[in-house]
Amino acid sequence: MENNPTELTAETVADGGSNPFDGKVTDHAMAWSHVSAAYSISLAILFSYMVVVSVRLKAARARNEERT
């Protein structure tokens, strides 16, 4: 759905207009899709990096133990 800054969606009309600024409201579903994307991508990057560092550290230690 294309976001239209001047559009009042059914949801916001039913809420009685949850955004008081001059009828310019964001679409709630669109907003939540952005929120979930931001959290998902950020946490995916963070946890992936944590896993990569842990796996590489484990492998490096295993190689050093083999050598000694």
Partner 1 sequence: MNKYFEKEHILLVVGLAMLAWGCNQALFVLPGETYMGEVFRIFFLHVPTAWNSLLIGTVAFGAALGALVKRSRGWDAAVEASVEVTLVLIVMVLIQGSIWGHGGTWGDPRTEAGSTWWEWEPRLTASAVMALSFAGVLSLRSFIEQFERRVLWTAVATVIAYVDVPIVYLCVKWTDRGMHQDHSTPSTVSDVYHWPLRVNAFAVLLIALWLIVRRAKLTLARDAARADQTPPTESTTPLVAGGA
Please report, as ranges, the residues that interact with partner 1 according to CB under 8 A. Answer: 3, 5, 18-22, 24-26, 28, 30-32, 34-35, 37-39, 41-42, 45-46, 49-50, 53-54, 56-57, 60-61, 63-64, 67
Q: Residue 7 in contact with residue 23, Cβ under 8 Å?
A: no
What is the closest distance, in whole angstroms, from the C-beta atom of residue 25 to partner 1 in the complex? 6
Of 14, 9, 48, the closest CA to residue 32 belongs to 9
Q: Residue 5 in contact with residue 22, Cβ under 8 Å?
A: no
What is the closest distance, in whole angstroms, from the C-beta atom of residue 56 to partner 1 in the complex? 6
